[in-house]
Amino acid sequence: MINPTFVFGLGFIAQGLFSARLLVQWLLSEKAKKVLSPDIFWQLSMVASFLLLVYGILRKDIVLIGGQFVSYYIYIRNLHLKRNWKTVFPLFRWIIISAPVFSLALLVFNKSGYSLEEIVDNPEISVQLFTVGTIGQMIFTFRFVYQIIYSERKKQSLLPPVFWIISITGALIIAGYAIARNDPVIILGQLSGILIYSRNLFLHYFVAAKQKKIKNI
């Protein structure tokens, strides 16, 4: 049995990195008076996502695992769009790409402890709770699906306003799921994230619009 302090410590580190990416993105956006999509946002996202994937495995939380597995590769694609990915040493690129797949492969072939079967059949997560968590995670993950489709069309990595609206919706549902699971890592992360998501919407709809209006005068 892995020490719970280590498990929650790992989760808080992952959540700290997620919070750091939002904080940097927010500060740079405030300075520019418009919503930005900086390289560091995606770099921190990728590292944090893998750590939260491992945290999800240790917590036997299939909802977390599924969401992070999808988001992780969207973060990598955004680094492609920002022409940042190829600056990473080729061997490290292969390690980064294969790490989540390797982690899930271990779950499939592991027959005791942290096996995929035990995670799926976790008695701590009822069918109702699983349903709520899955809906929240699907919405939360869809924000990046929407974001990458939008960015691919624009041929650059962008964070459109709908991204933040979806983020707030998914965060509220996941926060409720985390409260039911007594998971302080996810509760803290989602509630703090909602503040920055809301601020980015304000920047887009009010500050940026005001700047544009001033330029047109």
Instruction: Note whether 12 and 185 are within 8 A (CB).
Output: yes
How far apart (Å, rounded) are the C-alpha atoms in residues 7 and 60?
11
Q: In the chain, which stretches have pLDDT less than 70?
A: 1, 111-113, 207-217
Locus of tokens 């599924």? 66
How many whole angstroms separate alpha carbon 92 and alpha carbon 86? Answer: 11
pTM for the full predicted model: 0.84
Residue 68's nearest CA partner among 82, 54, 88, 80 is 54
Helical H segments across 33-160, by residue range: 39-58, 62-81, 90-109, 116-120, 127-154
Eight-state DSSP code of residue 150: H
Q: Which residues span the domain enclosing 64?
A: 4-216
131: left (phi > 0), else alpha (psi -120 to 50), else beta? alpha
Closest alpha carbon to 63 in 172, 8, 140: 140
Domain tally for the chain? Answer: 1
Helix/strand/coil for 125: coil
Q: How far is CA 94 from CA 24, 33, 41, 85, 98, in A?
A: 27, 37, 21, 11, 6
Q: Which pLDDT score, from 0 to 100, does residue 126 have? A: 87
**What would the pLDDT profile of 115-167 be if each residue is shown by its tens digit?**
777 787 878 888 899 899 999 999 999 999 999 999 999 999 999 999 999 99
77 touches 148 (CB < 8 A)? yes
Q: Whats the size of the chain, residue-wise?
A: 217
pLDDT for residue 28: 93
